[in-house]
Structure 1
Amino acid sequence: MAELDSMKSLGALLFGISQRSFHKLQVTEQLLKEELYPDMSQDEFTALYGKMKAILKSMASADMDHAQLEAFLTAQTRKQGGGGLSADQAAALSRFWKSQRSRVRESLLAQSCCEPGLRGLSWRVGVQATARSGAAPHSGPVTLMELELGGGGQDSKFLCLEFDEATVNQVLTKMADIQESIDRIVHHT
């Protein structure tokens, strides 16, 4: 019975570490100690917490599949000294990762995206009929580009840009340079 309680506590600890580290929820180390390991000394808990947090971060950063996870946990159980895992700890980590891997991955991907991101782009070419007040008269085609920016559940913001023919040519030249660089990298690998 004590072993079952120990496994439940370790599973809850892993879940708490995950909530704090990957989902950015306010789960404190002290709360986890008080709720899950009230009889453990602070030093012992700090060591357990640190070990489990480091292992979870390694598993998450590698986005370990089942085979990688089993090899990793086997290596961790074979470590000599106090740095290794017990068989029960490895089993708890394996169960946790099998059930939570996709949620951790989604959370890390959402956090890694640059904010705000480009949601959409539209453009059109037109001819300016009259000059804006105070501006020099302009003749020739004008490109209007509208960028939709936003991310992570935020409302979109729109940015409207106006380019003359020379500026459009400069942008196209830069884009061609970027494409050539990408092509060189792709063909060298």
Structure 2
Amino acid sequence: MAHVETAKPLSGLLNGLAQRVYYKNSDVTEELLRNEFYPEVSRDEFKALHEKMRGLLKAIAAADMDPAQLEAFLTAQTRRQGGGGVSADQAAALTRFWKSQRGQVRESLLAGSRWEPSLRGLTWRVDLQAASRGGAAPSGPVALMELELGGTGQDSEFVCLEFDEGKVTQVLKEMADIQRSVDGLVHSTQSF
């Protein structure tokens, strides 16, 4: 497979894989990458290279490897016997690619793990009603909360909530219950 290891085609393949896997560019297909960068290589040989590079990129990205981790990982890969390892040229291409694309790949993975729409902002206040002219007693404090919600690339949407004292107490109790549940999960996973 020595003839498929030149730097330019391999860099193109890695960038194409990133476009498809991390940047969700559906126009980039396996066939397009083969025709563009490795037209002289058989389909089977290209498929093997494509899958190997895709798997390596996924491992590197999933671990969000820093330069030292990447070097150790690729050194181990170059020492593997048989078809599972990488050549020094492939390791160098992967290093160059990761150095230039790590931030963008990381952002893409983070964006894909966020719930949409997300909470962009929160403002709140407590209003106290004064006695009215008719002598009616004030009804008690009212908490007003405004949530700013929005998805990536979308305008914000605002939701206004109004709580009386009983509802505020109920919300605080439910939040305390959630916190206890989260704490219990954290403590149980830390005991492993």
- TM-score, normalised with respect to structure 1: 0.84
After superposition, where does 1:39-188 map in structure 2 within 5 Å?
Answer: 39-126=40-127, 139-180=139-180, 185=186
Q: SS where residue 126 of structure 2 aligns?
A: strand
**Could you say which residue in structure 1 is the equivalent of 2:37?**
36
Distance in 1 (alpha carbons) for counterparts of 2:182 and 2:5: 55
The CA distance in 2 between the partners of 1:151 and 1:45, in whole Å, is 38
Greater shift in the superposed pair: 46-55 or 150-159: 150-159
2:6 touches 2:89 (CA, 8 Å); kept in 1? no
**Contact 2:118–2:150 (CA under 8 A) maintained in structure 1:** yes
Deviation at 1:4, TM superposition (A): 10
Tell me by how many angstroms 1:179 deviates. 4.1
SS at 1:88's partner residue? Answer: helix
Q: Which amino acid aligns with 1:111?
A: G
How far apart in 2 are the matches of 1:182 and 1:86?
A: 46
- Return the letter of the residue paired with 2:158: F
Give the match's secondary structure for 1:23. Answer: coil
1:137-158, CA deviations, whole angstroms, 9 ceiling, x for partnerless residues?
A: x933322211110131210111
How far the C-alpha of 1:5 sits from its partner, in A, is 8.1
Match of 2:24 in 1: 24
Matched, 1:15 2:8: no
Q: Tell me the SS of whatever aligns to 1:85.
A: coil
Deviations 1:18-56 (A, max 9, x none): 111111113111111111111111111111111100100
The separation in 2 between residues aligned to 1:5 and 1:71, in whole angstroms, is 21
Counterpart residue type for residue 169 of structure 2: N
Q: Does the residue aligned with 2:14 lie in a helix, a strand or coil? A: helix
Distance in 1 between the 2:159 and 2:78 partners?
55
**Alignment deviations for residues 37-81 of structure 1 (CA, whole Å, 9 cap, x no partner):** 111111111111111001001000000011110111011111122
Gaps of 5+ in 2: 131-137
- The alignment yields a C-alpha RMSD, in angstroms, of 2.5
One-letter code of the match for 2:43? Q
* Alpha-carbon distance change, 95 to 4 in structure 1, aligned in 2, over 3 angstroms: farther
Match for 2:109: what amino acid? Answer: L
Deviates more, 1:176-185 or 1:157-166: 176-185
Identity over aligned residues, as a percent? 65
Looking at structure 1, the residues matched to 3 and 33 of structure 2 have their Cα atoms a distance apart, in angstroms, of 19
Q: 2:183 & 2:113 partners in 1: Cα distance?
A: 26
**How far did 1:174 drift?**
2.2
Distance 1:172 1:88 in 2: 58
| Contact residue 22 and residue 105 of structure 2 kept, 8 A | yes
Q: Distance in 1 between matches of 2:169 and 2:97?
A: 54
TM-score (norm 2): 0.83
